[in-house]
Amino acid sequence: MLLILSHYGFSQNWKLVSNTITFKVKHAFGSTAEGSFQGLNSSIYFDTNQLSKTSMNASLEARTIDTGLGLRDKTLRGTKYFDVEKYPTIRMTCTQVERDAKANEYLGTFEVTIKNKTKSFNIPFTFIQTNNTGQFRATFQINRLDFSIGESSALLGDIVTIFVTLNTIVI
């Protein structure tokens, strides 16, 4: 029993078992365009008792963008938006984590790289651990123009809201 408890208590390397990465952006005439990404790879070391040792790195394949509309997806993969041939990978790296006001809430500083442009974001997230499973959840916003994703337009909003859920297990 002690061996099992020590495994859960001290081993804080997390393996991704499933994830959901979705986004929303205002679109023409008050509508909302929604979509998702697949192809996430991650490396996560997260110990709630040693936040200074946190290491989180994630990447996903930009070509996996899916809005449910083939023509829109083709446009988004093209040179005007994500330019997936030239910039196939979106990256996210955590540089710092601190506790937030409530239990299971944290504030992470993340470097997000899209199209070889890197911006730093303070992203609040929650982490819930149950035995050997853990779930990370975050919602944050980026300005797509900061990464040269399209141009300013009356038909498409600049602010994109991103929703991330990572389901993990201790390894």
Contact 84, 76 (CB under 8 A): no
Torsion of CA 99, 22, 86, 142, to 10 degrees: -50
3-state secondary structure 92-108: EEEEEEEECCCCCEEEE
- pLDDT (average), residues 122-137: 97
pLDDT reading at 101 higher than 60:
yes
- Considering the entire predicted model, what is its pTM? 0.91
CATH number at residue 20: 2.40.128.110
Radius of gyration of the chain, Cα coordinates, nearest whole angstrom: 18
Could you give the number of structural domains in the chain? Answer: 1
CA distances 15 to 44, 47, 80, 114, 145, Å, are 7, 13, 35, 24, 33
* Domain extent for 25: 2-170
What pLDDT digit, counting tens, does each position of 26-57 carry?
Answer: 998 889 999 999 999 999 999 999 999 999 99
